[in-house]
Amino acid sequence: MYDICYGGRRASEFGVCISDRPDIPAAKKKMESIEIAGRDGMLYLEEEAYEESEIEIPMNYIGPEDAWMERWRLIQGWLSERNTDLILGDDRNYFFRISKVEIDTNERSSRRIGSFKAVFISKDGLSYLQDGLAEYSCKAVRYNPYLLAYPTYHISGRGVCELSVNGNSFSVELTGEAYIDTERKLVYRSDGTVMNKAAKGDFEDLFLLPGENEVGYHGAFQVQVIPNWRRL
């Protein structure tokens, strides 16, 4: 049976069946259109960012008549989670980053059957690799075969650690552990305490470009990289 996993829980755990395999829209880059006097058509400037996309999944369930509403409440609670991951049953090595889920009316076609559609709003329409959530050495992430990636750097040690990525420098002073989240532009300790004031440099300089990258660091530290690889 085809299944999905949202927020770490499968549809089948709630007795929900997927009526049809979902259609997946193509990821689209954000573009700015500019009209220039005397020029035919529009000029389009392409950005690195991608637009939101919608993944519509039809669902249904069947159960005891006196538990129909209770099942629906549990399902709504499951799908109310925001900013989490969606994994499709036939593509389990990847996931979509979902901002929110919109649910339409639950149609009660009989006393025991309910059917509805859930629209998963993907943050960028891109597929993220499960392998990209693991920690790797700097050497292991120097080649990025996918799209521009926003990695997280995990640093352990004491003193000032200077990262060097593609000729750009980024330093952080730490006494233990620190994480540099380049997408959210945050530096924080393992307990979640933000420590951006202890860092110097531009987060954008730490992105992993498609193809070859130079990634290294200076000092007696341990540095691991969570690449957050993504692709179309």
- Summarize pLDDT for 148-179 with one digit per residue, the tens: 999 999 999 999 999 999 999 999 999 999 99
pLDDT value of position 31: 72
| Per-residue pLDDT tens over the stretch 2-31 | 999 999 999 999 999 999 999 999 999 887
Average pLDDT over residues 104-127: 95
- Give start-end residues of each CATH 2.60.120.860 domain in the chain: 131-231
At residue 35, the pLDDT reads: 73
Cα 94 to its chain centre, rounded Å, is 10
Span 31-88, pLDDT tens digits = 776 777 766 666 656 677 899 999 999 999 998 889 999 999 999 999 999 999 999 9
Task: Supply the pTM of this predicted model.
Answer: 0.90
End-to-end CA distance of the chain: 26
Start-end ranges of CATH 2.40.30.200 in the chain?
A: 4-125
What whole-number distance in Å separates Cα of residue 6 and Cα of residue 77? 12
Q: Are 74 and 14 in contact (CB under 8 A)?
A: yes
CA count, 13 A, side-chain hemisphere, 184:
11
Q: Name the pLDDT band for 204 (thresholds 50, 70, 90).
A: very high
Phi, psi of 146 (to 5 degrees): -115, -150
* CATH number assigned to the domain covering 4-125: 2.40.30.200
Residues ≥6 apart with Cβ < 8 Å to 191: none
Q: What is the pLDDT of residue 226?
A: 98
**Cα gap 111→104, rounded to integer Å:** 19
Tokens for 56, please give them.
Answer: 């519509």
Percent of the chain's residues with pLDDT above 90: 86
Options 2.60.120.860, 1.10.3720.10, 3.50.50.100, 1.10.287.990; CATH for 131-231 is 2.60.120.860
Residues 6+ apart with CB under 8 A from 3: 10, 11, 12, 18, 89
Q: What percent of the chain has pLDDT over 70?
A: 95
